[in-house]
């Protein structure tokens, strides 16, 4: 029985993958260019530039999960690509961008499944769908989910700003410092920042071989971690504004956070994994000598 995945004609398949990928990029250039514009203009989505690299890393780390056998072309992948084209045309007619984004993911899955086969796809499917993090949250979803958290987040940030000796009060989702009103209400909830933490956490979950409860815990910790980091960001922005002026505040809030968010997210996930290792130590099976031999998992019982 075959014990590994074999693909003897990989150069041909790689060429087809490149050709179909270029065609998909051309077809979906509108949603991709729209997303790239937001990566460049909004620090909360700057991680979009590294999502392709993260997807490649996830695929590499999951290469051992590719099912043994010989690579075969798959007709269901062709059907997925056809569905992606139909969805793209429908999205253009209805002017609904989220349908176009879903169609792009469908096309990516179809290309991998059709060219590399079912065995390969079963091993790396999380990496194939990982480009979902290329796309920002829909504006309606951002507004719906962030509004309830803006006021309490502003109040919490104001408390820590006051701890630096800066007179400040919260007014709705705004921090008021004397004559200065720090307009951070649109980002103060941290839900936009949630995407970078979610992307890193999902990558860690799908690439690791940890127990199911650990993976669930990592995913559930994304929201509080994002809110805490965003709170630090808002307080740092307010302090920089008061002590160094508007240019420094803009640098901290936009430029600096754009560069620091991905590594901070990675550090937070690694720290959480390390804490789990420290708190929950796997107990090895007992090994005892029975009749001169070592037998694992056998404990003698006295009579």
Top-confidence residue, 26 or 213: 26
Do residue 24 and residue 56 come from a single domain? yes
Confidence band, pLDDT 50/70/90 cuts, at residue 144: low
Shared-domain flag, residues 92 and 16: yes
- pLDDT above 90: residue 108: yes
Q: How confident is the model at residue 84 (pLDDT cuts 50, 70, 90)?
A: very high
- Residue 135 reports pLDDT greater than 60: yes
Q: Which of 134, 154, 172 is the last residue of a domain?
A: 134
Give a yes or no: residue 205 inside a domain. Answer: yes
Average pLDDT over residues 176-186: 69
User: Looking at the structure, do residues 163 and 225 belong to the same domain, yes or no?
Assistant: yes
Q: Which two tokens stand for residue 152?
A: 């309490």
State the Cα–Cα distance between residues 169 and 176, nearest whole angstrom: 5
What pLDDT does residue 287 have?
63
Please check whether residue 34 lies inside any domain of the structure: yes
Query: What is the pairing mode between strands 174-177 and 180-182?
Result: antiparallel
| pTM for the whole structure | 0.73
The more confidently predicted of residues 303 and 227 is 227
Please indicate, yes or no, if residue 210 is contained in any of the structural domains: yes
Lowest mean pLDDT among 9-18, 74-83, 138-147, 161-170: 138-147
Minimum mean pLDDT among 14-23, 140-149, 225-234: which range? 140-149
Whether residues 148 and 236 share a domain: the answer is yes
pLDDT of residue 106: 95
Classify residue 298: in a domain, yes or no. Answer: no
In total, how many domains does the chain have? 2
Q: How confident is the model at residue 252 (pLDDT cuts 50, 70, 90)?
A: confident
Residues 123 and 63 in one domain: yes
Does residue 150 sit in the same domain as residue 123? no
The last residue of a domain, from among 87, 113, 134: 134
161 plus 87 within the same structural domain: no
Looking at the domain assignment, is residue 270 inside a domain? yes
Please name which of 86, 119, 78 lies closest in space to residue 103, comparing C-alpha atoms. 86
- How many angstroms separate the CA atoms of 26 and 35, rounded? 15
pLDDT value at 15 more than 60:
yes
Q: Is 14 in the same domain as 130?
A: yes
User: Which sign, positive or negative, has the C-alpha torsion 243, 248, 249, 255?
Assistant: negative
**Domain containing 95: what range?**
5-134
Residue range 17-38: mean pLDDT, rounded: 92
Could you please report the per-residue DSSP string of 6-38? E-TTHHHHHHHHHHHHHHHHHHTHHHHHHHHHH
Asked, for residue 147, whether it belongs to a domain, the answer is: yes
Residue 248 and residue 245: Cα distance in Å, rounded?
A: 6
The verdict on residue 297 lying in a domain is no
The least confident of 4-13, 79-88, 182-191 is 182-191
Reported as a single tens digit per residue, the pLDDT across 62-72 is: 888 888 888 89
Query: Do residue 147 and residue 71 come from a single domain?
Result: no
* Distance of alpha carbon 75 from alpha carbon 109, whole angstroms: 12
Whether residues 129 and 146 share a domain: the answer is no
State the pLDDT confidence band at 76, using cuts at 50, 70 and 90: very high
Mean pLDDT for the stretch of residues 164-175:
79
Most confidently modeled of 3-7, 190-194, 282-286? 3-7
pLDDT (average), residues 268-293? 70
Q: Reply yes or no on whether the pLDDT at 187 is more than 70.
A: no
In this prediction, residue 303 has a pLDDT band, given cuts at 50, 70 and 90, of very low
- What average pLDDT does the segment 287-299 reach? 52
Same domain, 169 and 94: no
Residue 285 lies in a domain: no
The tokens for 283 are: 């107990």
Last residue of a domain, one of 134, 167, 199: 134
Question: 101 with 167, same domain?
Answer: no
The per-residue pLDDT of the chain, averaged, comes to 80
More confidently predicted of 279 and 51: 51
Radius of gyration (C-alpha) of the chain in whole angstroms: 25
């Amino acid at each position: 029985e075959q014990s590994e995945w074999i693909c003897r004609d990989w150069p041909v398949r790689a060429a087809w993958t490149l050709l179909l990928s270029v065609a998909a990029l051309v077809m979906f250039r509108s949603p991709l260019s729209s997303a790239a514009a937001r990566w460049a203009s909004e620090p909360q989505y700057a991680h979009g530039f590294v999502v392709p690299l993260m997807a490649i890393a996830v695929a590499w780390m999951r290469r051992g999960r590719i099912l043994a056998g010989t690579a075969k072309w798959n007709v269901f992948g062709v059907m997925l690509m056809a569905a992606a084209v139909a969805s793209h045309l429908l999205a253009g007619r209805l002017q609904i961008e989220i349908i176009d984004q879903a169609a792009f993911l469908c096309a990516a899955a179809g290309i991998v499944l059709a060219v590399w086969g079912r065995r390969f796809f079963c091993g790396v499917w999380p990496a194939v769908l990982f480009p979902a993090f290329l796309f920002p949250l829909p504006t309606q979803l951002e507004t719906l989910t962030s509004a309830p958290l803006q006021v309490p987040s502003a109040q919490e940030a104001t408390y820590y700003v006051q701890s630096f000796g800066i007179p400040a009060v919260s007014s709705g989702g705004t921090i008021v410092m004397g004559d200065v009103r720090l307009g951070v209400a649109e980002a103060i909830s941290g839900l936009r920042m949630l995407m970078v933490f979610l992307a890193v956490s999902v990558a860690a979950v799908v690439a690791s071989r940890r127990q199911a409860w650990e993976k669930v815990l990592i995913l559930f910790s994304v929201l509080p971690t994002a809110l805490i980091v965003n709170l630090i960001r808002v307080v740092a922005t307010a302090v920089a504004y008061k002590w160094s002026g508007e240019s420094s505040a803009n640098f901290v809030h936009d430029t600096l956070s754009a560069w620091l968010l991905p590594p901070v997210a990675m550090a937070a996930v690694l720290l959480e994994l390390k804490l789990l290792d420290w708190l929950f130590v796997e107990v090895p099976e007992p090994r005892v000598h029975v009749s001169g031999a070592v037998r694992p998992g056998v404990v003698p019982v006295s009579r």
